Amino acid sequence: MRDGFVKVAAITPKIRVADPEYNRQIICERMDEAFGQGAVVLVFPELCVTGYSCGDLFFQELLLRKAKEQLLAIAAHTEGKNGIVFIGLPLMWEGKLYNTAAALSGGRVLGLVPKTYIPMYNEFYEGRYFTAGMEEPVEVELGVDDTCKAWMGTHLLFTCRALPELKIAAEICEDLWSPKPPSIEHALAGASLIVNLSASDETTGKDLYREELVKGQSARLFAGYVYASAGDGESTQDVVYSGHNLIAESGAVLSSSRRFTNETIYGEIDVLRLYGERRRMSTYFFQKEGYRSVPFALELVETALTRPVLPLPFVPKDFRQREKRCEEILSIQSMGLKKRLEHTGCQCAVVGISGGLDSTLALLVTVRAFDLLKLPRGGIFAVTMPGFGTTDRTYENAVKMIRCVGATFAEVDIRQAVQVHFRDIGQKEELHDVTYENSQARERTQILMDLANQKNGMVIGTGDLSELALGWATYNGDHMSMYGVNASVPKTLVRHLVHYYADACGETDLKDVLYDVLDTPVSPELLPPTDGKISQKTEDIVGPYELHDFFLYYVLRFGFAPAKIYRLALLAFDGIYHKETILKWMKTFYRRFFSQQFKRSCLPDGPKVGSVAVSPRGDLRMPSDASAAIWLKELEELEEQTV
């Protein structure tokens, strides 16, 4: 449970219909297995103590009495166990029968949640036996003394003392399929985890719809969702139950069972992530009226993570999804630029082309925007500006690319102008310091801006999200433009966008040059080359972009603390980077992220393409003078632990 990860289990035992004593034994056995696997939230199917398919046997007093007795026996079995268990049983109260989900922990019954929506159409006609549950909790007696009392009602929240963000609420089968599932109110009351005890019969294609329901509800509510369904063991008199179990979190299925196998499935729900999502959503307002909180105790233990942690969170793992994502992003970028060109009346765009990835993507986006506007591509002024660090490879790729797309080629050698500037400010040319580098970047920006004025055009920015996060941009140099098309595209995604464009363009010459750009090391080329090759490699200086993009995603998307991000990074980059390397570049990331905010506070406009962006107008309202002390301190503590 450290870092908010809670291991859950959805369990389908093979029961006997109308045999509560036997079912209690099986439930306890499966419970022990799940506890042994480290699960702390266990969910069993609807009416599993008796079986869902008892039919008119639910009218039998003996069955109901035995079910209550076995409930107390199963509750006693949880004594000394580190977890909370949900089981289903029929319960009589004040002359009415309720289909309930009982929450058990610490040797007792914590509470009972009755089913809200009783189906009147299914094969077993639940309305023949059961009454819809009450919202306001009432106290019910389950035994002969006060220790056997529990609250019953739909408005119960089971709250973990050790991890207060873990608030669990229950709904039962049909409740989810209704137009207004109770889980909506549960989540608005604070529930971060919804458990569903179900007995959903199987028909052709129903599993797909069931999965979409669970995924959709977890996404809509920013919640974890554990769905445990009845399986083999129920009566097959008219229907078959497949034991289709599902565990989902915020729209993603973490685990699903094979149908017709009575499996136990496991997953780790990140409740801190869910609360982080809710904090960001202004329309997520909490309404706790009428809910009773029932506390339970859990020991904070280390949860071994089995959920996948992708090293490239901005890039879809599936090839088809990746292609779709690339096309969508290119469309957003080009449509944003199209609108800006239309609005300003510009028929000219000025783009500085270095032969690197970022300027390549900016040029390709500009070409798309011009095509959408049916403007001649010759209106794109693609400018190469060779300087002290320019290599033949990048220069030749820039020239070839400009020719291939049909843009107007322009070349302005900046070396002489920069040398004059060095003389004016007293900078020694042999001193390769930050002034040496930034003077070149600012000279290039001045050229682009003046050309744009001259041609009544617009300077298209090339800098990407990763560079902005690290402040790897020259203030009032490449930091500035009139519209930054790459501003919310991280470096790891830029590469895939260019690769996708190369594969899709259908032009051999363009494809070849784009492939060579992809093979070129990332560099600002501001220092003289060594033996004609790039001497200044960005990732040698600031660190691997795949690490920085990973850090950026979890810092801005979920607001995770450094220790949690480090833990996830160890999993994602296992066998790729040593833990010392990850920590080293994490410190660089946090130091630069905080110190360089002043550059992000005055960014040009640019289209947002994903959930992580740094625009000061809507995405990152961060003070330029914020201290990184507490984040760096946590990293130092982690460093001490790894020694």
Q: Which regions of the chain carry the CATH code 3.60.110.10?
A: 2-296
User: Can you spell out the DSSP letters for 90-133?
Assistant: EEEETTEEEEEEEEEETTEEEEEEE-S---SSSTT-GGGT--PP
- In eight-state DSSP terms, residue 266 is E
Q: How far apart are CA 368 and CA 383, in angstroms?
A: 18
Which of 405, 415, 401 is CA-nearest to residue 357? 401
- How confident is the model at residue 591, as a pLDDT? 97
Q: What is the pTM of this model?
A: 0.92
Q: Are 545 and 522 in contact (CB under 8 A)?
A: yes
Is the confidence at residue 146, as pLDDT, over 70?
no
Tokens for 435, please give them.
């002034």
Is the confidence at residue 330, as pLDDT, over 90?
yes
Question: Per-residue pLDDT averaged across 75-93, rounded?
Answer: 97
Task: Residue 316: count other Cβ atoms within 10 Å of its Cβ.
Answer: 17
Residue showing tokens 């915020």: 250
Question: Per-residue pLDDT averaged across 526-532, rounded?
Answer: 79
Question: Per-residue pLDDT averaged across 34-53, rounded?
Answer: 97
Q: How confident is the model at residue 124 (pLDDT cuts 50, 70, 90)?
A: low
Angle in degrees, 0-180, between the axes of helices 491-504 and 357-372, rounded to the nearest 10:
50
Question: Per-residue pLDDT averaged across 160-186, rounded?
Answer: 96
Q: Mapping DSSP to helix (H, G, I), strand (E, B) and coil, where does residue 29 land?
A: helix
Residue showing tokens 């843009």: 407
Tokens for 56, please give them.
């008119």
Q: Which regions of the chain carry the CATH code 3.40.50.620?
A: 319-642
Is the confidence at residue 63, as pLDDT, over 90?
yes
- Active-site pick, 46, 165, 249, 525: 46
Q: Mapping DSSP to helix (H, G, I), strand (E, B) and coil, where does residue 592 land?
A: helix
- How confident is the model at residue 530, as a pLDDT? 81
Higher per-residue confidence, 124 vs 51: 51
- How confident is the model at residue 534, as a pLDDT? 74
Q: How far apart are CA 240 and CA 203, in angstroms?
A: 8
- Active-site pick, 66, 115, 400, 587: 115
Strand order through the sheet with 408-411: 408-411, 380-384, 349-352, 458-461, 483-484
Q: Tell me: the pLDDT tens digits for 252-278?
A: 999 999 999 999 999 999 999 999 999
Q: How far apart are CA 229 and CA 450, in angstroms?
A: 68
Tokens for 517, please give them.
């750009």
Amino acid type, 587:
K
Q: Tell me: the pLDDT tens digits for 401-432?
A: 999 999 999 999 999 999 999 999 999 999 99
Q: Is 173 assigned a catalytic role?
A: yes
Q: How confident is the model at residue 569 (pLDDT cuts 50, 70, 90)?
A: very high
- How confident is the model at residue 588, as a pLDDT? 97
Tokens for 643, please give them.
């020694």
Helix extents (H) in 267-387: 271-280, 319-344, 357-372
- Active-site pick, 28, 48, 54, 173: 173
Query: Pairing between strand 5-11 and 41-43?
Result: parallel
Task: Residue 637: count other Cβ atoms within 10 Å of its Cβ.
Answer: 11
Is the confidence at residue 539, as pLDDT, over 80?
yes
User: Can you spell out the DSSP letters for 332-348?
Assistant: HHHHHHHHHHHHHT---
- Among 27-36, 538-547, 569-578, where is mean pLDDT lowest? 538-547
Q: Are 114 and 153 in contact (CB under 8 A)?
A: yes
Question: Per-residue pLDDT averaged across 534-561, rounded?
Answer: 91
Question: Strand pairing partners for 128?
Answer: none
Residue showing tokens 């096309």: 327
Helix extents (H) in 373-414: 392-405
Which of 213, 210, 191 is CA-nearest to residue 274? 191
Q: How far apart are CA 536 and CA 520, in angstroms?
A: 12
Question: Per-residue pLDDT averaged across 161-173, rounded?
Answer: 97
Question: Per-residue pLDDT averaged across 587-607, rounded?
Answer: 97
- How confident is the model at residue 546, as a pLDDT? 96
Question: Per-residue pLDDT averaged across 385-409, rounded?
Answer: 95
Q: Are 488 and 314 in contact (CB under 8 A)?
A: no
Q: How confident is the model at residue 178 (pLDDT cuts 50, 70, 90)?
A: very high
Q: How confident is the model at residue 532 (pLDDT cuts 50, 70, 90)?
A: confident
Task: Residue 2: count other Cβ atoms within 10 Å of its Cβ.
Answer: 12
Superfamily of domain 2-296, CATH level 4 = Carbon-nitrogen hydrolase (3.60.110.10)
Q: Is 21 assigned a catalytic role?
A: no
Backbone φ and ψ for 143, nearest 5 degrees, come out as -155, -160
Is the confidence at residue 494, as pLDDT, over 90?
yes
- How confident is the model at residue 122, as a pLDDT? 55
Amino acid type, 44:
F
The hierarchical CATH code for the domain 319-642 is 3.40.50.620
Angstrom CA distances, 136 to 101, 116, 152, 286, 334, stand at: 16, 12, 8, 18, 54
Q: How far apart are CA 277 and CA 354, in angstroms?
A: 39
Q: Tell me: the pLDDT tens digits for 214-233?
A: 999 999 999 999 999 999 99
- How confident is the model at residue 123, as a pLDDT? 56
User: Can you spell out the DSSP letters for 226-257?
Assistant: EEEE--BTB--SS--B----EEEETTEEEEEP
What sign has the CA pseudo-torsion 596, 642, 491, 328?
negative
Question: Strand pairing partners for 112?
Answer: 102, 152
Average pLDDT value for the chain = 95
Angle in degrees, 0-180, between the axes of helices 562-572 and 629-642, rounded to the nearest 10:
50
Q: Are 336 and 374 in contact (CB under 8 A)?
A: no
Q: Are 157 and 168 in contact (CB under 8 A)?
A: yes
